[in-house]
Structure 1
Amino acid sequence: MQNIHDVLDARAVTPLFQPLVEIASGRVLGYEALSRGPAGSPWESPAALFAAARQAGRADELDWICRAQAYRAILAAGLDPALTWFVNMEPTSWRAGCPADLVPVVEQARDELRVVTEMTERVLADDPSGLLAAAAACREANWGVALDDVGADPMSLALMPFVHPDVVKLDMGLLHHPGDPHTARVAAAVAAHAEASGAVILAEGIETEEHLAIARTMGATVGQGWYFGRPAPLPAGTRAGACLPFIPPPARDDRTPFQIVSGRRPVTVATKAHLIPLSRHLEALVDDGPEPPVLLACFQEARHFTPATLRRFARIAGRSPLVAALGAGLSDRPAPGVRGACLGDDDVLRGEWNVVVVGPHRAAALVARDLGDDCADGERRFEFALTHDRALVLEAARTLLTWLAPARVPALIS
C-alpha cells in the first residue's frame, strides 16, 4: 500500500486480542481488542497508524474501522456470548457518523455482543456533556463503560465519578511504583469509588508474579498483561469463565442543583454578603490536597463573574481537571482554562447561585435560589442549602454538566 489513504480505503486494519482474567480463579472473562496496521508497513503500530490518520484528517474514520474490524473478527469466531469485549473509542469519533459500509457489522455487534467501551478522562474536561451522552448511548445498547489509564494523571480521580464506569482500569505505571505515595492515593480513591458504585477494578500491564501481588493489594479483581497472554488472534472455542458484571447507570435528573439538594436538605435564608464566605471556602478546597477536584459554579449573570473572580477561576483552572462557570452573558471560555455556558433569559439556572466541588476524597455543594429582592447587591436574599453528602453533591454536579455544551452525540451508529 502506497500511503495511509490506501490503508484506510482498504480497511486494512487487523485486530488482535488480549485476555482479561479473573485474578482469583484465573478464568477468562473476555478480551480487549487492539488494532494493528498492515504488517511490515510504516503504519503497523497503532500509534503510527493513528498519527498518520490524524495528519490525513481521517482519524475518526480509522476509529470506526478499528472497532468494526474487531467486531467482524469476534462475530466470525462464534465464541461464547457471555464473553465481554473491551473496545477503545477515540474521543472525537463520538460526534462522527459511522461510514456506511461499516454500519451492518456495527449494528450486528450492538445486537449480539457484550461490549465495554473504553474512555479516557481527558475527554470529560474537553467535552463534558459529550462524554456523558456517549456513555449514555453505550448503556442504552446494554453495553458497559470503562475509564482507562486511571492514575496516569492525578486529575483522572476527580473525573471518575462523572463517568460512573462499570470498570476502572488502573494505569500500568502504578504496578511499577507500588511504594510511591501517589500510587497509594490512587488505589485508595479507586477502592472507595468501587465500594460505593460496585465498579470492577482492572489492573493493566501485569507481567510478573510481583505485579500480580501488587494488583491484588490495589483491589484489582481482573488482570490484563503479558502474564496472562500477549495480544494475538482469537483462540478457537474460548468460553467465559464468568460474566463480568455491569453496574446500574446513574439516574438522569433534569432538575437544577438547588431543586436536587433542597429536596433533601434543610433550606435557610441569608443575604449574598453572608453567603460569599461560604462560597469562597468551597472554592478554596480546590487548592487543598494533591488530587485537585472539579469546580462548577453558577453566577446568574456575567456581571457577577467579576474581574477578581475571573482571575481566581483562571488560577484554579491551572491545577483542576475541570472548572466551569455558567451565567447569562458568559462566553464558552470566560477565563483561561475555564469552561463556560451562556444561560438564556428564561433558563431556570438564571435564578440560582451554585458552587459545587467534587474530588476523589471530598465533595461539597452550596446551592442557593435568588428571592428576587430589589435592593443593594450584597443585601439580596437567597434560600440556600449546604451539603457534604457525596452522593447528593454528585447528583447536583452531573446535572450541571448537561448545561456545558453541546450538540447531541450520535448513538453507536448514525
Structure 2
Amino acid sequence: MRDIHNVLDQRAVTTLFQPLAEISTGRVLGYEALSRGPADSPWEQPGALFAAAHEAGRESELDWICRARAYEGALTADLDPALTLFVNMEPSAAGTPCPLDLAPIIELARHRLRVVTEMTERAIAVDPSGLLSAMAAARAAGWGVALDDVGADPMSLALMPFLHPDVVKLDMGLLRAPGDPHTARVVAAVAAYAEASGAVVLAEGIETPEHLAIARTMGATVGQGWHFGRPAPLPVVAGVTATLPFIPPPRPEDRTPFAIVAACRPVTRATKAQLMPMSRHLEALALDGGEPPVLLACFQDARHFTSATARRFAVIAAHSPLVAALGTGLTDEPIPGVRGACLGDDDALRGEWNVIVVGPHRAAALVARDLGDTGPDRERRFEFALTHDRALVIEAARSLLGRLAPARSPELQPA
C-alpha cells in the first residue's frame, strides 16, 4: 500500500488474539485482541500504525477500525458468549462518531459479545471527562473496563480508583523485578484496591513457570503471556466452564464534594483563617512521600487562587499525575501543568472551598461551604468537614473530574 491513508481507507487491519487464562487451573477465560497493519509494510506493528495515523490526523478513525476488526473476528469465529474479549480503546475516539461502514459490526458486538474495554491510566490525566464518559458508555453496553499497564508509570496508582476498573492488568515489567521496592508498592496498592472492590488482578507477560509463580505472589488470579499462548487467530473453544466476573460500577454522582462528605461526617463551623492551616496541610500531603497523588481544589473565585497558591500548585504538579483548580474566572490551564475549570455564577461549587488529595495509600478531603458573610476575607465563616475515609474521598474527587476539559496537547499512543 502506498501510504497510511490507503491503509485506513481500505480498513487494512487484521487482528490476532492472545488467551487470558485462570492461573489456578489454566482454563481460558477470554482473549485480548491485538491489531496489526498490513504484513511486511512499515505499519505492520501497532506502534508504527498508530503513530502514522496520528500524524495523518486519523488516529480516532483507526481506533474504530481496530475495534471493529476485533469484534468481527470474534463474531466470525463464533466466540463462546461466556468468554471475554479484551479490546483496547483510546478515550479520544469515544468522542468521535463511528464511521458509517463500521457501525453495523459495532452494534452487533454490543448484543452478542462479552467485552472488556482496555484503557491506559495516562488517558485520565489528559482528558478525565472524556475517559469517564468512555467508561460509562462501555458499562452502559453491559461491558467491563480494564486498566492496562499498571505499574509502568508510578503515577498510575493514584488514578486507579477513579477509573474503578473490573480488571487491573499488572505491567509485565513487574514480573521481571519482583524484588524492586517499586514493585512492592504497586502490588500493595493494587491488592488493596482489588480487596475493596472485588476487581480481578491480571498479570501480563507470563512466559515461564517462574513468572507464573511470581504472578501468584502478586495476587494475580488471571494471566496472559506466551506461557498460555502466543497471539494467533481465534481457536474454537468448547466446554467453557468459567467466566471472568465484572464488579458493580460506581454510581453516577451529581452532588458536590461538600454534599457528599457532609452527608456522612460531622459538620462544624470555622473562619477562613482557621481553615487555612488544614488546607495547607492537605497540600503538603501531596508533596510527602515518593508516590505522587491527585490534588483537586475548588477556590470559589479566581482571586483566591493567589500567586503564592499558584507557586505551590506548580511544584506539586511537577510530580503528580493530575492537579486541578476550579473556580469562577479560572482558565482550562491557570498555570502550566495545572488543569482548570471555570465555574458558572450559578454553579453549586461556586460556594465551596474544597481540597482533595488521593494517593495510592492515603486520601484526605477538606470540604467547606461558604456561609455568605460579607466582612473581611479571613473572617468569612464556612461549614466544613474533614475526612480521611478513602472511599468517601474518592467519591468526592470523582464528582469533580467530569468538569475538567482535555489537556491542550494530548499525546495518547497505544500500548
Query: What TM-score bracket applies, with the shorter chain setting the length?
Result: over 0.9
Q: Is the 8 A contact 2:91 2:134 kept in 1?
A: no
Q: CA deviation at 1:236?
A: 2.1
In the alignment, which residue of structure 2 is the partner of 1:289?
289
| Distance of 1:56 and 1:171 partners within structure 2 | 30
In the alignment, which residue of structure 2 is the partner of 1:29?
29
Q: Is the 8 A contact 1:271 1:381 kept in 2?
A: yes
| Distance of 2:402 and 2:62 partners within structure 1 | 29
Q: CA deviation at 1:402?
A: 2.1
Counterpart code for 2:149: D
Q: CA deviation at 1:50?
A: 1.2
Counterpart code for 1:346: D
Q: CA RMSD in A?
A: 0.9
In the alignment, which residue of structure 2 is the partner of 1:256?
256
Equivalent residues in 2 for 1:293-372, closer than 5 Å: 293-372=293-372
Q: Deviations over 1:83-111 (max 9, x none)?
A: 10000012321211111000000000011
In the alignment, which residue of structure 1 is the partner of 2:191?
191
SS in 1 for 2:384: strand
Q: CA deviation at 1:149?
A: 0.3
Could you tell me which runs of 5 or more consecutive residues in structure 1 were left unpaired when the two chains were aligned: 407-414
| Distance of 2:66 and 2:80 partners within structure 1 | 22
Counterpart code for 1:392: L
Q: Is the 8 A contact 1:28 1:241 kept in 2?
A: no
| Distance of 2:36 and 2:345 partners within structure 1 | 51
Q: Is the 8 A contact 1:24 1:221 kept in 2?
A: yes
Q: Is the 8 A contact 1:169 1:203 kept in 2?
A: yes
Counterpart code for 1:170: L
SS in 2 for 1:18: strand
Could you tell me which runs of 5 or more consecutive residues in structure 2 were left unpaired when the two chains were aligned: 407-415
In the alignment, which residue of structure 2 is the partner of 1:162?
162
| Distance of 2:237 and 2:173 partners within structure 1 | 33
Report the count of equivalent residues.
406
Q: CA deviation at 1:48?
A: 1.4
In the superposition, the TM-score normalised over structure 1's length comes to 0.97
In the alignment, which residue of structure 1 is the partner of 2:393?
393
| Distance of 2:14 and 2:390 partners within structure 1 | 44
In the alignment, which residue of structure 2 is the partner of 1:410?
none
| Distance of 1:15 and 1:86 partners within structure 2 | 12
SS in 2 for 1:216: helix
Q: Deviations over 1:114-144 (max 9, x none)?
A: 0000001111111111111110110000000
Counterpart code for 1:162: F
In the superposition, the TM-score normalised over structure 2's length comes to 0.96
Q: Is the 8 A contact 1:83 1:239 kept in 2?
A: no
In the alignment, which residue of structure 2 is the partner of 1:105?
105
In the alignment, which residue of structure 1 is the partner of 2:409?
none
In the alignment, which residue of structure 2 is the partner of 1:235?
235
Equivalent residues in 2 for 1:371-386, closer than 5 Å: 371-386=371-386
Counterpart code for 1:67: R
Q: CA deviation at 1:238?
A: 4.4
Q: CA deviation at 1:44?
A: 1.1
Counterpart code for 2:70: A
SS in 2 for 1:287: coil
| Distance of 1:191 and 1:91 partners within structure 2 | 26
Q: CA deviation at 1:68?
A: 0.5
Q: Deviations over 1:351-395 (max 9, x none)?
A: 100001111100000000111111111111100000001111111
| Distance of 2:239 and 2:135 partners within structure 1 | 28
